[in-house]
Amino acid sequence: MPEKENASPCLGRGVFFRIVESLLRIGELLTPFNITPIYVKISLMGKVVSINISEKKGARKKQRDEVVIKTNYGIEGDAHASETWHRQISLLAYESIEKMQDKGLDVGSGDFAENITTVGIDLFSLPVGARMSLGEEVEVEVSQIGKECKKKCKIYYQAGDCVMPKEGIFVTVSKGGVLRKGDKVSIKS
């Protein structure tokens, strides 16, 4: 398996998780007062808003309500799934898609060729090695932040920019299972 990459600088894994643990402690201290800091909700929990697959590389991804994700492989039926590849599943936050919509583009979930679109978690700030739960069964580990685009996509030519190379993340599957649209997403460590 190729070495894991990190295409953008970010906090080291230990520092990031010490910050997360501190935020969780603050949230726990405020619980008796019925106060939940907004940063705890936004940064640690989210949900799946879209699941997208394509049977052929380069083909437009189609949305699915439910998929089977295989351990150390990826999404069953998706052309990018592989036991030998560290980019088994791609994720992009809907908040990143909104940045492109703000530039006037008519884009939505799946238009950036991401497998899973989430909302509520700042995905590209996670370090390589961060672990997440997707739904009740699936566990993944961040293997790459961003990617190098070898050829510019139509979105780049329309807006002069594209969010997937900077803000998309890739994961390997530690534990497979069923994933459904609407399932929760959480950072494990």
Domains in the chain: how many in total?
Answer: 1
CATH number at residue 144: 2.40.33.20
pLDDT of the residue at 5: 46
pLDDT of the residue at 180: 98
Question: Do the domain assignments include residue 5?
Answer: no
pLDDT of the residue at 143: 96
Tell me 1's DSSP state. -
Which of 63, 118, 68 minimizes the C-alpha distance to 90? 118
SS3 at position 69: strand
pLDDT of the residue at 92: 94
Written as six digits, the tokens of 188 are 């494990």
pLDDT digits (tens, 9 = 90+) for 109-137: 888 889 999 999 889 889 999 999 999 99
Contact assessment for residue 142 and residue 170, using Cβ atoms and an 8 Å cutoff: yes
Taking 50 as the pLDDT cut, the residues of the chain under it are 1-10, 38-42, 159
Contact assessment for residue 130 and residue 187, using Cβ atoms and an 8 Å cutoff: yes
Nearest-angstrom CA–CA distance, 45 and 33: 21
Nearest-angstrom CA–CA distance, 29 and 20: 14
pLDDT of the residue at 159: 47
Question: Domain range spanning residue 152?
Answer: 13-187
Question: Do the domain assignments include residue 7?
Answer: no
